Amino acid sequence: MGKLDGKVAFITGAGRGQGRSHAVKLASEGAGIIAVDICEDIPTVNYEMASAEDLAQTVKEVEAVGGSIVAVKADVRIKEQVRAALDQGLARFGQVDIVCANAGILPMNDRTLIEGFIDGMDVDFVGAHNTVAVVAPHLRSGASIIITGSCAGLMKNTTEAMGRTGGVGYSFAKRLIFQYVETLALQLAPHNIRLNAVHPTNVNTRLLQNDDIYRSFRPDLVAEGKTPTREDAEAAFPGMQPMPIPYLETSDVSALVTFLASEDSRYMTGQNLLLDAGSMLKGERAI
């Protein structure tokens, strides 16, 4: 008996990282999985997106825990693609009960004026809204929506201080999620449908492990004209959290997502939950 037996979860950004981890964990609790990922690079992002092979690996890992999964390539910026992906999942499972709007980017390559800001907003905020908008008509009493925000996004002087418009777009999108959850949860509550956000501190995924982030954690080396390495950044990562860790692992986030998806949290809604090892106690809140 799993906590999510008979339920179906729609998860965006499921090709790797947190999204894959959520897919495997929710499947291990009995949920059927509809997994979506762009499987294509975004030019304003300096690190690669998940590939079709990555999404296929998610399928393997879900099946390895005995789960059922439909995996579809779709871009959350484009509502029609999200709808087409959902339709494929509905054709297989006939229902959807859990939504993880998790896809996200940190776009630090402005090729044209404010292009990073636009992509950050389009994926990190509009993408989450598109996901909610497309799934909403299919949700029934007992459904749970979980949006992935960001603790760094809710703090001052983190991504928006990285010197590119995409960092500002990232923070702004995550701050909008905070208000989105509080606003929309009230509309959903009478239907017994819940909406919450999880705001993690740094998580050990590609969004963290890349040169843009290494530079932001080691401005001292950048000032010396050096290119910070992962090893250099690892030395600085623990400075973010009062608890003695460099970052969360994806399983830490999946544990909270599973709780929010399950009946264990059946009267929790409209919450912006910090999963941050104390980061927000230390940093300055922007919201």
- Positions marked catalytic: 170
If one asks whether residue 18 binds ligand NAD (CB under 6 A), the answer comes out as yes
State in angstroms the smallest separation of the CB of 11 from ligand NAD. 10
CB 117 within 8 A of CB 170: no
Q: Which of 123, 146, 184, 256 binds ligand NAD (CB under 6 A)?
A: 123
- Residues contacting ligand NAD: total by CB under 6 A: 31
- Token pair belonging to 241: 């959290």
Taking the C-alpha atoms of residue 67 and residue 43, their distance in angstroms, rounded to an integer, is 34
Output b/e per residue, 84-117; b: 16+ Cβ within 10 A. Answer: ebbeebbeebeebbbbbbbbbbbbbbbeeeebbb
Helix (H) or strand (E) holding 99: strand 98-101
If one asks whether residue 126 binds ligand NAD (CB under 6 A), the answer comes out as no
Distances (CA, A) of 60 to 24, 71, 134, 238: 9, 11, 26, 33
If one asks whether residue 102 binds ligand NAD (CB under 6 A), the answer comes out as yes
Q: Which of 103, 118, 176, 193 binds ligand NAD (CB under 6 A)?
A: 103
If one asks whether residue 107 binds ligand NAD (CB under 6 A), the answer comes out as no
If one asks whether residue 76 binds ligand NAD (CB under 6 A), the answer comes out as yes
If one asks whether residue 104 binds ligand NAD (CB under 6 A), the answer comes out as yes
What does DSSP say about strands 194-200 and 272-275: parallel, antiparallel, or unpaired? Answer: parallel
If one asks whether residue 105 binds ligand NAD (CB under 6 A), the answer comes out as yes
If one asks whether residue 120 binds ligand NAD (CB under 6 A), the answer comes out as no
Contact region with ligand NAD (CB under 6 A), list: 9-17, 60-68, 155-163, 238-246: 9-17
Taking the C-alpha atoms of residue 214 and residue 195, their distance in angstroms, rounded to an integer, is 33
CA-based radius of gyration for the chain: 18
Q: Which of 29, 75, 97, 252 binds ligand NAD (CB under 6 A)?
A: 75
Residue ranges binding ligand NAD (CB under 6 A): 12-13, 15-19, 36-38, 49-50, 75-77, 102-105, 123-124, 127, 148, 150, 200, 202-203, 205-208
